[in-house]
Chain A
Amino acid sequence: MIAFNKYYNHFNILSSALIIISLFLLIFKGLNFGIDFKGGTLIELRSNETKINVSSLRDKFSQMNLGDISVKKFGSDNDFLIKFENKDNKKNIISDIKVNLDKSFGNNYDFRRVENVGPKVSAELLKSGVIAISLSLAIMLIYIWVRFEWQFSLGAILALFHDVIVTLGVFSLFGLEINLSIIAAVLTIVGYSMNDTVVIFDRVRENLRKYSDIKIFELTNISINETLSRTIITSATTLLALLAIYFFGGEILKGFSLAMILGVVFGTYSSIYIANTVLVRLRVSQKTVLREDDSK
């Protein structure tokens, strides 16, 4: 049996630090919102000529007065992703750009993807994204409240917050783009982290009923160990699937799968080191679960 409980305090301090750092990053550095949430235009361009590269593209686009521009490679050497503000929401911007590029590059390029999100839509998408995440946290809270005692719900929700905040913190730290698919990833993380926590909690509750003389500090450790191989196997298969998406699923799914990978890692960690320690700190005992059984 591995003595997870020996490190409860250490990891609580670490988690608190991670959350504080993440919040700090989120407040002061902020998130790198993509055009879904910031508005603007995105062009994925494929060239078949070496003259077209990041710097020549940046030159061309800067001349066109499009506001903030970012040009970068996208996956392979001849694929580029160009993003700009398009503040005035000009109508024929794409055909204007094509005319302009044709002059210098001829017909040696191709727009593979064009996305243009107006300011109104981006504000709505951001709002509905925030609502979706808040709603999912609220529903999880209600679900676990109905299923378990309040001490358990608190533990699970703290673990959830930890996973969401730290994942977003990593995105902030590295300036990774937040777009619609990242919101999907965060929601899935919420589901996954909950799933992981619930399985351990289920065992904790079962053991609480079984043993009256074991303290919660020991009992959580027993429960974690009993479910450990399941935790490892499920995390492993999920991670294998996600790694396959990350490495082979194409550029568009990279951010999504990365967020999910981080979420699975944090989710697994938090089920052990946050959710359970809350039970210990709240001195959950056999009485807690038995009282609830009586009242039902």
Chain B
Amino acid sequence: MADIDVLVVGAGPAGLATAIRLGQRLQGDGRDASVVVIDKAAAPGYHNLSGAVVEPGVLDELLPDWRTDRTRFADHVTPVERDELWALSARHAVRVPPRAVPPTMRHAGDAILSVSRLVAFLADRADRLGVEVYHGFAARGLLIEDRRVRGVRLVDLGLDAAGRPRTNYLPGEEVRAGIVVVADGSRGVLSAELDALDRSVPEASVADDRGSAAGRAGSAAGHRTAGRGAGARDVQVYGLGVKAVLQFPGGSPLGAGRVVHTIGYPTRRGVFGGGFIYGMGPKTVAVGLLLGLDWRFVDLDPRVEYEAFRSHPFVAALLEGGTSIATGARTVPEGGYYALGPLDAGGALLVGDAAGFVDEARLKGVHTAIRSGMCAGDAIADALSSDAGVASAGARYRGLLAERGILDELRRARNYRQGFRWGLVPGAALSLIGGRLPVHLRMPPDRSATRVRAHLDRRLPAGADGSAFVSLTGTAHREDEPSHVALVDPARCVACGTAGDAACTHFCPGEVYRWTGTQIVVSASNCLHCMTCTVKCPADNIRWVPPEGGEGPRYRQL
């Protein structure tokens, strides 16, 4: 019935690494199986955003010939040549002596790249391996039968704003497959479904084969973590990256290959975060801010924080003469080891950010995404050629994650992020020893950190143009489709707005929410698909579902 053998949902680094590894293995084994990747973005890379400073070794593992590929992708990968950490006060900047920089924040040997470009490259390589990659198809949810994932259902197309079919109505199609790999990224809709499926497993069965992924994979690696069931997992916490790419017609003052990280300004007590400025090339610079979504301030606007960062004299000097040509924002799971989601559930595998594979100490997830994808690809290839078939893929996947040290890397970084709940100084101190602490520091969900009385009162710096940000993301949605962002109980929003809070009007980098004085108006067509609203609404009153495929932002070099 299912003519698709393997369906990968989400064409990011993790999903495409899965497909590429699988394609390579099938080619090597001389096996014929259909591997299909679908993604909601209009084109490869459009919904992918990262810093990004990446260890290039992971690309060598996946595609040993990537440096000489005919598409000349490698031309856009810049080796890190200078690597600095600076501490900013409101007006000044002090360089942290290199010896004092924690090892997790050193980048010798790494490379600066655009993850949008990386994804476009990976999509092309997957295609050349016989993988079918389809863009512009959004999965609305999983097809689950008898607790097994059988495929996905796509989003209904051609409804009007009221949900009535138009003349071109196309009901959401079913896409069935032998095995499904969920790679829908940070706060993905399908990974949330799998998380719920996994948590709903009766306790009795947890003990045998369906233990928490982290727990059981941990045991496979010889760690003493047995007994941690799905229910014991921490709730995931997130960061929000706000980023721009600047172009310098005459060359940038920063120069290619220079990496600058900052701590301090503009973040205040109660905000975890830091800035980054990367010389992508002689004329191109990536600049951005990563903020922990557990900030206290009800009126914190990440775009204003980003503009404040850019206006700092130290940063402004490095960006002199630059013009923003692209902007974007995306959440990143920061919970690390203890918050790692299920790695397989209902027969489906989760890879990359969808599972929470981010090294919380380094705040890097591209390499773990690719490595987890390669494990999934190998596991499925092994399962396809075994007698047990794809049903054995989950166990094999967990085993490979442990064997290849991916879980160890996350485990070493555990408790890192957690310490920063108490501020920078204790956080920095804890971060150095957190990995060795015998305790499990827990994080509350991000939304509960917001304090309604805590106001930041930051103004957009003079000369900054806040309105250009959304425009430069290139985001677009059909104006008369049903809103893919819904307020569950609008009355609660009225109460929240009347009280003067309306945190959504501040935290959303896409300006989707607006308080009119009497109600919250949702402009879903501005949405950047960053998922902040699903994490940060204090009342958990916002529901996000995928809109029609091909919509949303258009990131090409973020």
Do these two chains really belong together in a complex? no
B interface with A by C-beta (< 8 Å): none
A interface residues with partner B (beta carbon < 8 Å): none
